[in-house]
Structure formats: structure tokens, C-alpha cells
Chains A and B, each alone.
Chain A
Amino acid sequence: MRSMLRRAGGALNLSALATALVLLVAWEVGVRAAATRFEFLPAPTEIGQTLYGAIRSGQIIGDAVHTVACALAGWAIASMLGAAIGFALAFSPTVHRFFNTSLELLRPLPAVAFVPVAVLLFGFTVYTEITVIVFASVWPVIVNTVAGARAIHPRLLDTAATLHLSRTQRLGRLVLPAVLPSTIVGARVSLGLALVVAVIAEMVGNPAGLGWGLVAAQEALQPGLMFGYLVATGALGVLLNACLRLTFARLFPGIREIQQ
């Protein structure tokens, strides 16, 4: 299995690398050949040099740490909050009856539109950023938790009743193990979202981190640095996703959805 994966990976990497390389070379040659027309489109080598410089000076590293820390903090809060809300919605008919529609109305609210409200309440601070991240990334956890609870087979609940399990026992032995996998799948989706929203919030709300670095480089008319931030943000996304996949696969080996 593993060797098969590796072989597939090797074959994939070769032609894909060649394509990426060709594209980059075409970009480089194109920019150098038409140096006067693309004032703000730097060549890949220039981007690489600027990125290297910004990494060595610690600027991009510091910004990346800020963005990842905020995304993780917001994500942790959103996961717990989302799991709690999801459980309440799934297991209390009263909560479901009275809160479901209200939540459905709030869900499609775009996260960006929420930034000005958060700025009014918290100013241009890290609280604004984390509030917006929580607001945006709580939904996948709620939706997945509710879906997981709906998928509990009625027979399981019947079994619990037959065995005269107490409420606590039922929760610990049956409901949690049955629902948590879906909650975790939701949490995995929302971590990717948290990173994106962190960047958005930094662009218009909290002047710090990668998002702000990107906007600042644009406003200072430094295309090399701006593309450096772009590459760093993309690489961070890929890296975070890979780390997440490994961590979750190790922590929860039973959940198939998060290992793909």
C-alpha cells in the first residue's frame, strides 16, 4: 500500500514538477523580455530573493506565527463552541425548535461583512481577528455534529435503553463515541477556513500578520515582497493541511474521512 502510494507520488511529482518549472521559466522569460510593460509583475527569481531576505530578517516568520496563532486560537474556541451548540441542537428538541432557524439565518452572513462590526466593538485589535475567525469557523463544526447525531442508529439508543444505562453512561459510552468523529471532520474543515478568515481579518481589521503584510507591501508598491507574502501564505496553507492530516490520522486512526 505504502510503496504503491510512493510510486504514484513519484510519477506524479515528475511530470507535475516539469510543468510547474516550465510555467515558472515562461514567467521569468516573459517578464524579462517585456520589462517595461509589467512594472509591478516581478520575475520568480526576484520574488525568491525578496522572500529569502524577508525570511532571514524574521519579518515573514513573525507574521506567519501571528497568523497561525490567531487561526489556531479562534479554531479551538470555534470547535468547542460548535460542538456544544451542535450537541444542544441535536439532542434537545426544544433548542432545535427555537434556535435552528435563527442560526440558519446567521450562517450565510459573509465573514468579511462581520469585520467592520467587530472593529466597532473591539477596535483594530487581536480580539477583532479572533471574533471573526470564531464566527466564520464555527459553522462546519455545528453542521457536522448535528449530522453525526442524526446518523446514530436508533437501535443503538434502544440498546442503551434495554441495558438501563444512566444518562451519563449513555452519553459517555454511546453518544460521544458515535458523534465525535463527525465533529472532528467538521473541525478539520474549519481549520482551513480559520486560516483564510485570519488573513481576511488582518487585511481589513487587525493590522498584523500575513494579511496585513500583504496589504502593506501592496500599498508600499513593493511587488517582490507582496508576492513573497503570497507564496508564504500559500505554502503555510499547504503545510498546515499536511500537518493536520498527519496529526489527525495519528490521533484518530478510526476516522476514514480525515485521512484522504
Chain B
Amino acid sequence: MMTAVNAPAPAVAGGKERPWIFHAADNVWSALQGLLPLIALLLLWQMLGDSRSPYFPPPSTWAAALIDRTNSGDLIPAVLVTLQSVAAALILATSLGVGIGGLIGASPALARCLGPTLEFLRTLPPPTIVPVAALIIGVNETMKLFVIVFAALWPVLLNTTLGVRSLHPTLLEAARSLQLGVVARMTKIFLPALLPSILTGVRVAAPLAIIVSLLAEMLTLMPGLGALLLMAQRNFNAAEVFGLLTVVGSFGFILNAALAAFESWALMPQGRT
């Protein structure tokens, strides 16, 4: 049978509403079902894998390696350092992106002058900026912050520009007829209207920020998750590499979930969730 998965489900005969608890149970069950192949793979790996394998050590050794790292006091500071850089850079990139993007969106002349230069900078693969910054700024926190901001800036900037351009003229007229001051205009009209575009940009920027942060740590061996990963690889400690991979994966997953939660909370007053 070839039907798209989303094809409307056939109506249940009787049509009686089921209590919500059944729906919740259904959701949990379907999530578990979705995880089955991954769990099965890991179990098989655990049972069939050789714990001394230099390439595919079983999952229990990953956990052991991670516990070792935690006990030696490396893992948690590394996670915190990476999280701190990513968070600080995201905040900085958002304020810069909103500022510049707002100006460019509001002024067609500025957009014409700066557009292509910014476009070239934007198409530059963000990782390439890491060695350049390491040489010019030196290997320090400023450099890390700079490269992450450079990578995370463009999605926010672009989305803000587009958001400003698609502002409804009525909004601008309303601001004028209410004779709002600059501050009131910003906080009561522009920011709420632009918030969805800005937050979309931040959601796109977050994974980029993580990637560039890890890469900067790998290339310069500055403390952080990336450096831990690279050192584990250089020591041919496969169990630790796989373990750290799960840490990095959960890091990205949790950051994304947190941003999604923030987005729906921030947009709640607008009823756009």
C-alpha cells in the first residue's frame, strides 16, 4: 500500500473521545518504538562487541571512559567552557545581527552598498575564519568568541533584514499616529513584530555556533569539548571518542530544545506558538 504517512487517518467508529492519558501513553509508546532500532543496535553492539576493539568498543566502555574523564575532572569543565562560549557568542551575535540587520532592512541605500560585501562574507565557509583569527588575534577566548560570532551572525542578520522588509506598513503608521517615542516604538512595535524572524535566525545559528566552537577548540586545543575529542582521537581511545560523541550530541540536542522552549515562551503573548 503506497500512501503518504500523513494521509488522514480513517475515522474511528463510535467516535468516542479517549481520555488524555491514553494519548500520552500513545506518544510515549511511539517515541519508544522510534528509538527501538537505535536501542537494538547499541544492545547488539554491547553483546557482540569486543571490549578491547580499537575501532568499535561496546557502549559500556564508552560510559566507563566518560566516568574516568569526569573523575579526573576534565569533562564537566570542558562542557561548561564550550557552553559558555556558545551562549555568550549567541547573545552577542543576536544583538549585532539585529542591529545591523535592522539598519540594512530599514535603509535600501545601505542594503545596496553593503549587500554584496556582506554576501561574500556570508558565503565564506565559517570554519575558514578559525585559522585566520588564530593567527591575527592569537589563541585566546577573544578569538574563540570572534569566530563563533562570525559564524552565528549571518542567519540572525539575514532573518532580521527580511523581517524588517516584511513589516506591515500599518504598523509604521500606527507608531506615527500614536506619536510614540523612539524607545516605545522599539519595545512596543518593532521588537515584538520582529521577534519571530529573529528567533528563527537564532535557531539556525545555534548549531553553527556549536560546530565552530568545537572546531576552534580542536584546531587550537583550547580547553573545551572539541579539544577533549581531538585528544581522545590522538590517543586512539575509541571508547572515549564514542562517549564524547554522545555528550556532544546531547549538548546540541539540549541546546536546541532549550531554544525551542524559549521561542514558544517568548512568542506566547502573540499566540503564534
Interface residues of A (CB under 8 A from B): 11-13, 15-20, 23, 38, 40-41, 89-91, 93, 96-102, 104-106, 108-117, 119-121, 149-150, 152, 154, 157, 167, 170-171, 175, 195-196, 199-200, 203-204, 210-211, 214-215, 217-218, 221, 223, 226-227, 229-230, 233-234, 237-238, 241
Give me 18 other A-B pairs in contact (C-beta within 8 A), A12-B116, A152-B4 excluded. A13-B116, A16-B114, A16-B116, A40-B135, A102-B35, A105-B249, A108-B253, A109-B252, A110-B210, A110-B211, A150-B6, A154-B7, A196-B125, A204-B230, A218-B135, A226-B132, A234-B120, A238-B120
Best-surrounded residue of B5, B117, B253 (most CB of chain A within 10 A): B5
Give which listed residue, B8, B123, B249, contacts A237 with CB less than 8 A. Answer: B123
A108-B207, A196-B126 known; A221 and B135 CB under 8 Å? yes
Classify the interface of chain B: helix, strand, loop or mixed.
helix
Per-residue contact bits, chain B 27-51, to A (CB 8 Å; 1 contact, 0 not):
0001101111110000000000000
Give which listed residue, B35, B126, B238, contacts A120 with CB less than 8 A. Answer: B238
- What chain B residues lie within 8 Å of A211 (beta carbons)? 127-128
User: Shortest Cβ distance from B173 into chain A, in angstroms?
Assistant: 28
Contact B253 A112 (CB under 8 A): no
User: Shortest Cβ distance from B228 into chain A, in angstroms?
Assistant: 10
User: Shortest Cβ distance from A240 into chain B, in angstroms?
Assistant: 9
Contact B55 A120 (CB under 8 A): yes
User: Shortest Cβ distance from B184 into chain A, in angstroms?
Assistant: 33
Give which listed residue, B6, B121, B214, contacts A113 with CB less than 8 A. Answer: B214
Contact B5 A218 (CB under 8 A): no
Best-surrounded residue of B115, B128, B230 (most CB of chain A within 10 A): B128
A19-B113, A233-B124, A241-B123 known; A215 and B248 CB under 8 Å? no
A91-B3, A113-B229, A119-B233 known; A200 and B215 CB under 8 Å? yes
Interface residues of B (CB under 8 A from A): 2-8, 30-31, 33-38, 54-55, 109, 112-117, 120-121, 123-132, 134-136, 207, 210-211, 214-215, 218-219, 225-226, 229-230, 232-233, 236, 238, 241-242, 244-245, 248-249, 252-253, 256
- What chain B residues lie within 8 Å of A150 (beta carbons)? 4-6
Please report the C-alpha to C-alpha distance between residue A218 and residue B216 in the assembled complex, in whole angstroms.
13
User: Shortest Cβ distance from B79 into chain A, in angstroms?
Assistant: 13
User: Shortest Cβ distance from B253 into chain A, in angstroms?
Assistant: 5
